[in-house]
A = this chain, B = another copy of it.
Amino acid sequence: MSERVVIIGGGFAGLNAARGLRRSEVDVTLIDRENYHLFQPLLYQVATAALNPSDIAYPLRSALRRQRNATVLLADAVDIDLARSSVRLDNGDLPYDYLIIATGATHSYFGHEPWREHAPGLKTIEDALEMRRRIYLAYEAAEREAAPDRRKDWLTFVVVGAGPTGVELAGALAEIGRQSLAGGYRRIDREEVRVLLLEGQDRVLPEYSARSSAKALSQLERLGVEVRPQAFVTDIDRYGVSIGDESVGARTVLWAAGVSASPLVKSLGVPLDSAGRVEVEPDLSVPGHPRVFVAGDLARVGFGDGIVPGVAPAAIQQGSHAAANVRRLLEGYATRPFTYVDKGSLATIGRAAAVAEVGPLKFGGLLAWGAWLLIHIFYLIGFRNRVWVLSGWAWSYVTFKRGARLITGRQTHEDLPRIERS
């Protein structure tokens, strides 16, 4: 019987790990709680109605349908029993000979759990649809609201955290504000729409160079985003955010700040860092468990003075590397340490604007935006998804419209402003 390789998680790391084993005589089982691979870098575009969920999600089963040694199972991994070499699932157990854990990260509220309800984060399709619902519902509420001061709160959007996701969200929110002019609202004035981007550190995109950061700042300001560096959020409720003594009225607050590793590894009994990531060996294996690997956002791997960032290219490289090490062990060789190849960083800031860093090269504007566009299309899985996303972008670019402005999900409207007409 073939050796059993179990992979938990069908993100960039897990999917690439599975593919890395396509020519091996092993029995690969990929489990995920969703039936699709999600292209997370474009999730903010679903949240802001530019793309549909199915544009950036691809069924895992289809992705691996031709790989005959791979089986996809829809399941929740509840626990890992390293002693018995078995993964406990929602209903059943899955024994393994080799295990690759790639369940990624979720957002963290730094211990402020009540904030979760008022400031949704962005990790899943459901998160993105919830953000979309809140953004467009806020405009509808503003249109109902007769009192200018209360209407202002409905038209104030706060993004917490100015990493790539926060910058992208803030840029898109500013564009939605401009587009609302043409949206058929009767009461809303474009000038009433405010987008605030709050960052605890002293500049936007703190992981980028100072030059790119400055470029991003000027592009954000051109779009009308109010950028507030060194702003520490001290409270969030349904009426707004507090920044120390200052209180900002805002009915829509989006969370793009903390990240914490998937809780699945908490019970492993192996060293974790403060964000909950596994402190893996250089070959990505779990200390003391040479047949168990961790890949993607869940792994803490050193790189230069710091660590490998939690970005898609790193997850892809780690997933492939974990698979390569499994192959080496199967063939009786020693594993190899992982080396991260930094292909650069890219963040987009609204229409035809972005910043890029590739090695010593740092550039912005239209060129960076073009690079961003090509790279994202290239890494999207599936011919249909590529064509759909490109057409969606082209349509939005030409018409200045967003195609998916639907408020979905069950709701009552009782908490929306009172309608007063004579």
Residues of A within 8 A of B (CB): 4, 29, 33-36, 52-54, 57, 59, 61-62, 64-66, 71-76, 89-95, 125-126, 129, 136-137, 140-141, 143-144, 182-186, 384, 387-388, 391, 395, 399, 401, 403-410, 412-422
Contacts and interface: CB of A to CB of B under 8 A. Distances in A.
B421 A29 contact: yes
Indicate the member of A35, A415, A422 with the most B CB atoms within 10 Å: A35
A414 B90 contact: yes
Cβ-closest 7 pairs across A and B: A65-B184, A92-B419, A54-B404, A74-B140, A61-B184, A92-B418, A90-B413
Contacts of A408: 53, 125-126, 129
A65 B183 contact: yes
Contacts of A36: 405-407
B144 A62 contact: no
Contact of A91 (B72, B387, B419): B419
Contacts of A409: 126
A61 B52 CA distance: 20
Contacts of A395: 384, 387
Nearest to A407: B35
A35 B419 contact: no
Contacts of A420: 92
Given A74-B144, A419-B93, A184 B62 contact: yes
B418 A403 contact: no
A406 B91 CA distance: 22
Nearest to A405: B59
A126 B144 CA distance: 24
A76 B388 CA distance: 34
A404 B53 CA distance: 8
Contact of A406 (B53, B92, B415): B53
B75 A416 contact: yes
